[in-house]
Structure 1
Amino acid sequence: MTKILPFKAVRPARPFAGLVASRSYEDYDEDELRAQLEFNPYSFLHIINPGYKFQHEIGGEKRFEMVRNRYLEFLEDNIFIQEKEACYYIYQINSREASCCGIIAAASADDYEQNIIRKHEDTIAHREELFKDYLKVVGFNTEPVLLTYPDNEIIEDLMRKTMQKRPEYEFATSNREIHKLWKICDMESTGKIASEFEKMEKLYIADGHHRSASSWLLAKESREKNPNHTGKESYNFFMSYLITESSLRVYEFSRLIKDLNGHSKEEFLILLDEWFRIENRGKDLYRPSKKHHFSMYLHGEFYSLYLRKTQYRFTDSLSSLDSNILYEKILKPILGIADLRQDKRIEYIPGRNDLIELKTRVDSGEFAVGFGMLPAEIEEIKQIADENLTMPPKSTYIEPKLRSGLTIYEF
């Protein structure tokens, strides 16, 4: 039984919504970030980059405190408003490639701790602690965790009826996306939605493992310090964006490696031959067409690598995951890359980017070899989570990617 509740969001007043909403901070290059900060005084980037006001780089807890100050200024200037009643928020993103629609709501930190909300990635302890401390100081969260659930006709019907009305927000962005947001606040509808989620035995994290873990740490610490803890306090929940499994878009990450770990091209191919049938595809841009098939670009040529299934033993859902096969049979034993998070010899390209990028970066001499694969399927992700296993880092690139600042969850 999952607990997914409406909440009283802090959000932009209608005239400011399109100006406030921003992509993830890391998604901007230096020039674009500077332009946003210089020419858009309403951008949420001013809150998460508070040192810009003083033209000074600020770090640590002082930065957290200044983020809080910028946030309060947006409230004082009525750029942000506080919702008067608890609502669910329907958020739709339409792009040239696809459309998705889901519900922004409050998910239970207890459900995360009890594995009702299930994960498929490992988290890094110091990053969990850092973000927990950030949340504690700033007092709000603006980046929803992406959760996925089975298709549900009752929830979908309520969403369709709501979306026939005028949206609370409707704006376009420079990357040709249309963003719309509606509210569901009446008690009958919110009760039905909550009831339908209660019937679900489990949900799955699609994106936001560190945010989920940090929110649980904050909840645990807060309840230990609160002698009057009831379980209803806002710190017991974290903001999430819930979409159906059929709406989730899963891409792969391609791998780029800086060198062949001392092997010549010929030696490297011979080592690969133990586990893969290799075909030289020449200059043709080769993309895998099946699971357990990989593309490789090396010395100006593409190769197809087919896993020798008579040699390889599948023991669980993780052992059949292509990113894990690549790691266990090539990256670690042959190329000497044991730590996929920290090793500076490996970089990742989201699979939705063109294969030309992989080729260009190898041809430039920056990297020696690149690997591609098919994306994982949602059933693979769920099975790995159900078996309490974790994928190698950068196994999935998942969309949608949401704008920050449209709904804010206060602790």
Structure 2
Amino acid sequence: MATIRPFKAVRPVPEKAADVAALPYDVYNREEAAAAVYGKYDSFLRVDRPESTLDHRMNMYDPFVYEQAAKNLQKLYDRRVIAQDETPSLYLYELVMDGRSQVGLVACTAIDEYLDNTIKKHELTREDKEQDRIKHVDACNANTGPIFLTYRGQEDINGIIAETMKNKPVVDFTADDGVIHRVWVIDNEETIGRLVEDFKKVGNFYIADGHHRCASAVKVGLMRREERPDYTGDEEFNYFLSVLFPDEQLAIMDYNRVVKDLNGLTADAFIEALEKQFDVEEKGTEPVHPPAKGTFGMFLEGKWYLLTAKEGTYAADDPVGSLDVAILQNNILIPILGIEDIRTDKRIDFVGGIRGLGELERRVGEDMKVAFSMYPTAISELMAIADADLLMPPKSTWFEPKLRSGLFIHNLD
């Protein structure tokens, strides 16, 4: 049984929402974050990436940086850019990209349901990344970035959401990237009660994006429990900020790979090694978008190739091994290119599909040797793997559009 809970969101005043809303902290490197906040004093990225407002020589994990995050958050309160709602509410958050709409319910979800696997995971997390967000959440005393969850869509829930959207949204703006963002407030107690009951029938939630944010939010909640052994379970720190989207509305983009070298092989020897497990077809200079599962584009020495996995390369009934990211990993990245740990090896990098295949060509021309374009993972594959309590290889999914941070904040007190 999955639980949702209304909360008193901290939100931008409507006329400031577009200025506050920021892409998630982890889509930027340090230099990009500093450039993004320059001259934008209301940008929530100043809270999520506080080092972007400090001297570039400062260690971004210094305790002072997390103190600065809390200070930058307080500045938004002081300037009356953000304020807390007086009534516990649920919220709708619609994103429209290229004419495609997805509508999520903004609510709090329970840390206990993360711990008991009602909220299902499909990726491992890294301790260093968890520690960064734990310190950030703890310093701000708030969940500042929503966890992107999905669930198997329900007709009753869809009906309530559609009825609510007949009202005028309280926030409606188009971001610089062309994505439309709209927000509705659900503060009617009867409607909230119906949604709470309907979500109990959903069964499970699935983390689509934000595994590190989720794990960190849970660990901060557990820390607060240790500090307050008389806790009742009703305190806000027992819950974390989430946006829940029905599975049928979500689209996963390709998450492509670039590798720095050929592990000592010449290009001809590398292709010869590939041909043991793949049909390799030279395509020239036109970028290759893989046409189906089991196919890959490859850019090497100015040429594109189509790779097609041969029969027997993978077991079709293996939910993890049959993922394209796993086929690439198990047949090329590890055995041929010698990349043993995909999560930590500095010779590999990952490029979200939103950047286009031209970005793969640019990286190969600049600092990499070979690039692979991927066929997108399906949401059904993600859910099947999570249901089996299995894990996907790192960087298997890239969701667009990205949820904006700063539109909803959940205080832990």
Spell out, residue by residue over 1:32-86, the C-alpha distance to the aligned partner (whole angstroms, 9 max, x if none). Answer: 7556545333222333455677767474222222221222232233222111111
- Which residue number in structure 2 is paired with residue 385 of structure 1? 386
In structure 2, relative to structure 1, the CA distance for the partners of 1:237 and 1:47 (3 Å cut) is: same
Q: CA deviation at 1:193?
A: 0.6
Q: CA deviation at 1:285?
A: 2.8
1:83 is the counterpart of 2:92: no
Does the 8 Å contact 2:130/2:212 carry over to 1?
yes
Q: Secondary structure at the match of 1:15?
A: helix
Q: Distance in 2 between matches of 1:311 and 1:49?
A: 43
- Evaluate the alpha carbon distance shift between residue 305 and residue 126 of structure 1 in structure 2; reply closer, same or farther with a 3 A threshold: same
Name the residue aligned to 1:216.
Answer: 218
Deviations 1:240-273 (A, max 9, x none): 0111101111012111112111111221122112
Q: Please, which of 230, 235, 239 is the counterpart of residue 237 of structure 1?
A: 239
1:199 maps to which residue? 201
Contact 2:314 2:327 in 1 (8 A): no
Distance 2:286 2:200 in 1: 51
**In structure 1, the residue corresponding to 2:41 is in which secondary structure?**
coil
What letter corresponds to residue 292 of structure 1 in structure 2? G
What are the residue-to-residue correspondences of 1:34-183 with 2, within 5 Å? 37-50=37-50, 57=58, 59=60, 60-183=62-185
Structure 1 pair 373/26, CA: closer, same or farther in 2 (3 Å)? closer
Tell me how far apart the structure 2 counterparts of residues 14 and 312 of structure 1 sit (CA, whole Å): 52
The one-letter code of the counterpart of 1:394 is K
Equivalent pairs, count: 410
Q: How does 1:357-372 map to 2 (within 5 A)?
A: 357-362=359-364, 364=365, 366-372=367-373
Between the aligned partners of 2:54 and 2:33, the Cα distance in structure 1 is 16
1:201 maps to amino acid: G
Code of the aligned partner of 1:204? Y
Query: What is aligned with 1:409?
Result: 410
One-letter code of the match for 1:410? Answer: N
Is 1:13 matched with 2:4?
no
Distance 1:365 1:228 in 2: 57
Question: Counterparts of 2:341 and 2:181 in 1: how far apart (Å)?
Answer: 38
Q: Which moved more, 1:372-381 or 1:272-281?
A: 272-281
Measured on the aligned residues, the alpha-carbon RMSD in Å equals: 2.2
Contact 2:154/2:202 (<8 A) preserved: no
Separation in 2 of the partners of 1:254 and 1:53?
Answer: 31
Give the C-alpha shift of residue 224 in structure 1.
Answer: 2.4
Give the letter aligned to residue 229 of structure 2.
P
Give 1:161 shift.
1.8
- Please give the per-residue CA displacement for 1:211-251, whole angstroms capped at 9, x wherever unaligned: 11112212222222212211111111110011110111101
Cα offset for 1:365? 5.5
Q: Is 1:248–1:400's contact at 8 Å kept on the other side of the alignment?
A: no
**1:143/1:404 contact within 8 Å kept:** yes
Distance 1:167 1:22 in 2: 19
Q: What SS does structure 1 have at the residue aligned with 2:263?
A: coil
From the superposition, tell whether residues 287 and 216 of structure 1 become closer, same or farther in structure 2 (CA, over 3 Å). same
Relative to structure 1, the CA distance from residue 128 to residue 35 in structure 2 (aligned partners, 3 Å threshold; closer, same or farther) is closer
Quote how far apart the aligned CAs of 1:323 are.
Answer: 0.4
- Residues of 2 paired with 1:54 and 1:304: CA distance? 46
Structure 2 CA distance for partners of 1:342 and 1:178, relative to 1, 3 Å: same
Describe the superposition over 1:328-381 as per-residue Cα deviations: whole angstroms up to 9, x where unpaired: 11001100111212222112211233223323432x253221112210111111
> Where does the alignment leave 5 or more consecutive residues of structure 2 unmatched?
none
Partner of 1:22: 22
Contact 2:34 2:53 in 1 (8 A): no
Deviation at 1:152, TM superposition (A): 1.6
Aligned to 1:275: 277
Give the counterpart of 1:351 among 350, 353, 356.
353
CA contact under 8 A between 2:34 and 2:52: conserved in structure 1? no
Counterpart-to-counterpart distance in 1, 2:385 and 2:220: 27
- Relative to structure 1, the CA distance from residue 291 to residue 212 in structure 2 (aligned partners, 3 Å threshold; closer, same or farther) is same
SS of 2:215 mapped into structure 1: helix
Query: Aligned equivalents of 1:287 and 1:382: distance in 2?
Result: 24
Q: Which moved more, 1:282-291 or 1:197-206?
A: 282-291
What is the alpha-carbon distance in structure 2 between the residues aligned to residue 277 and residue 35 of structure 1?
44
Structure 1 window deviating more from structure 2 (258-267 vs 276-285): it is: 276-285
Letter in 2 for 1:131: R
For the Cα contact (< 8 Å) 1:20–1:44, is it kept in 2?
Answer: yes
Q: Contact conserved, 2:240 with 2:410, CA < 8 A, in 1?
A: yes
- Name whichever of 70-79 and 166-175 sits farther off: 70-79
Q: Is the 8 A contact 1:100 1:400 kept in 2?
A: no
The TM-score normalised by the length of structure 2 is 0.93
**Alpha carbons 2:30, 2:52 under 8 Å: kept:** no
Calculate percent identity across the aligned residue pairs: 36
Query: What runs of 5+ residues in structure 1 fail to find an aligned partner?
Result: none
1:97/1:342 Cα in 2 relative to 1: closer, same or farther (>3 Å)? farther
Of 225-234 and 27-36, the range deviating more from structure 2: 27-36
- Whole-Å Cα distance in 1 between the matches of residues 214 and 5 of structure 2? 16
2:48 and 2:144 in contact (8 A); partners too: no
The normalised TM-score by structure 1 is 0.93
2:91 and 2:106 in contact (8 A); partners too: yes
